[in-house]
Chains A and B, each alone.
Chain A
Amino acid sequence: MQKDFLVLGHPGVCMTWEEAKAYFPVVQGDESLVREIWERIEYWPWLFIWHILLSF
């Protein structure tokens, strides 16, 4: 049976927050904010590499 592609992988980031946390073992404030901004900026290198593959 074919896998549900919507739950596969982690499209939109190169390094997930779970992986990145190794560099930031202690988050003293709001971790969800840190995660949100991390993922927002991670989107750009992900977009870059996928558009190099698809568009350029």
Chain B
Amino acid sequence: MTQEERYQARLRRYTTALRNGKPDMVPIRPFVAEFVAKYAGVSIQAATHDYRVAFEACLRCAGDFDWDAVVPNMIYVWTGLVQAVGLKYYGIPGLDLPANVAFQYKEPPEEHAFMRPDEYDLLIADPTDYLLNVWLPRVSNFIKPPSEKVTVEHNLALLKGGMAMMEYFNALGGLVQELRTRCGTVAAISGMLKAPLDILADKLRGYYGLVSDLHARPEKVLAACEALMPHLFRIALDGADPTKNVPIAFWMHRGCVPFINPEHFRKIYWPTVKPMVEELWKRGHQVLFYAEGNWDYHLEAFRELPPGSIVYHVDKGDIFRVHRVLGDRFCLSGGLPNDLLALGTPEEVRAYCKKLIDGVARDGGYIMDAGAIIQDDAKVENVRAMTEFTREYGQY
């Protein structure tokens, strides 16, 4: 079999399952992150700070494991770019952190949030202007606001940051192509979507600030979410797979109960997510709900979406319950506990994979994966057990 024939067979298998159909066997699509560095024998610093090292490690894994699809570089933050722009909210392996620790997010205390509570109107009036002229100078060690004198560091940070981003995105396109030609492996996702409310919590107000605002000024939070939507939608659409085969990844953070209450989900989170997903589906793009944590409380809301419009990925949720509620409408993925990959034995991994396949994959519409991204704590023999068992037992 040529690599292209292997690629086409895997693409058929993967897309059949994505459409909630029954392929020839259960597809395998692990979201391997720092695991690729461990497997390739390189440091996390090297893979995070030099994306070329991460790409090679990703290709090596894709070549060695019989996986249908992988994310082209799940070590998604190139910290070389982060350092060039001087972003304050990352801990960089080998710089701020030991060389074998994965990059970390640093959320400032509420009183030092990157966006202040009285700045909602500025954000709502023109989100891009606010981000460029108020937010970016605050999150960068080098970039100055328009009211301050520019510096050499300011000029260089903008130039280097812009050029580096262009370099990185161009290189990602090359990795997608190499996955196909060298390994016969499909790039699992294309493009990204985030919820407006998550963005407010992640990078602007911080989680504690956002929760205060949901009670003190909910109308401003809603208006800010509405103002973010056109931009988030455009980013999602522009990064989407032009062939409409693979989904846009929707990274779900802290928009679920108990991080927010049911009313805030119903009145703010969901009304500012659902229309974007529906519009993407109208244009032929499926969205992968990467439900980090446990979103079981909201399954009935997700049922409101058109059949086939999403793929629902399960992390800490009860995948058997998810299958009962959503399985007739959407493909599911994940559900294999990450702690089992890290702390369990190959026998335990095989037993859990059997439970998953028996419980949710018998009629198709399931893709094998861990619950969350696979980092360097996963044992190689356990990832191998997941792969080999699914291939043997997951035949239809």
A-side residues, CB < 8 A to B, are: 2-3, 5-6, 8-14, 44-56
Contacts and interface: CB of A to CB of B under 8 A. Distances in A.
Q: Tell me whether chain B's interface is mostly helix, strand or loop, or mixed.
A: helix
A11 B230 contact: yes
A6 B233 contact: yes
Given A5-B230, A44-B162, A56 B77 contact: yes
Nearest to B237: A11
Contacts of A49: 128, 131-132, 136
Interface string B275-297: 11001000000000000000000
A9 B192 contact: no
B197 interface: no
B230 A50 contact: no
A11 B234 contact: yes
Contact of A2 (B77, B128, B226): B226
B87 interface: yes
B235 A51 contact: yes
B81 interface: yes
A2 B232 CA distance: 17
Contact of B131 (A6, A50, A55): A50
A11 B231 contact: yes
Contacts of B227: 8-9
B199 A54 contact: yes
Nearest to B198: A54
A11 B131 CA distance: 13
Contacts of B203: 53
A50 B166 CA distance: 13
